[in-house]
Structure 1
């Protein structure tokens, strides 16, 4: 079954890190991605632009509203994701616990619908 691991973190935290800490963080994500790939569990991954670049579309009645920014103001922002293949939820949770994002924010684990 496929699961999405959604990484939530405080975006401003990156700017407070030293260049060495940023390099260490990037290396941790690279190693995590390599471990997923080596295990045959990596389906896809992506990193999102900052939340300030978001645009939200809502339909209210017959009117389409386009709003700059995210829909909700939150302490942590959705910053990236992994899609993994895992035997069950416990296996997906194990991968989420190994994600560097779990150390500085949170990782939401959600099964994907099997389409078609």
Structure 2
């Protein structure tokens, strides 16, 4: 089964991180991605631009509202995703726990 691991959290620490801190985090993500690749579980993933760069579209019948900013006005935002192959939710949780992220939402791909 395919699972989407959504990286969630407060974007402020990353926005304020210095070059060495960012390099360290990228190294952790590189090791995580290599682990997934070695297990045959890595299907893709990307870091997302800061939520302040988002464009949100809301439809109400024929009316369309296009606004700047994220869908939800919260401190925690989605900052990236990893698509994995896992035999079941337990394995997806195991993979998510290994992520160098404090918050992860796991969603099974249904198609």
Common fold: TM-score over 0.5: yes
SS in 2 for 1:49: coil
SS in 2 for 1:101: coil
Pairwise CA distance, 1:18:
3.5
Counterpart of 1:113? 110
Counterpart of 1:17? 17
SS in 1 for 2:110: coil
Structure 2: any 5+ residue segments left out of the alignment? Answer: none
Counterpart of 1:72? 72
Pairwise CA distance, 1:35:
0.7
Matched, 1:7 2:7: yes
| Whole-angstrom distance in 1 between the partners of 2:58 and 2:6 | 22
Structure 1: any 5+ residue segments left out of the alignment? Answer: none
Deviation string, structure 1 residues 36-95 (Cα, Å, up to 9, x no partner) = 011100011111111111001111121111011112111111000000000110000000
How many residue pairs get aligned? The number is 111
| Whole-angstrom distance in 2 between the partners of 1:17 and 1:71 | 25
Q: C-alpha root-mean-square deviation of aligned residues, in Å?
A: 1.1
Deviation string, structure 1 residues 11-45 (Cα, Å, up to 9, x no partner) = 11013333322211110001001110111000111
Counterpart of 2:35? 35
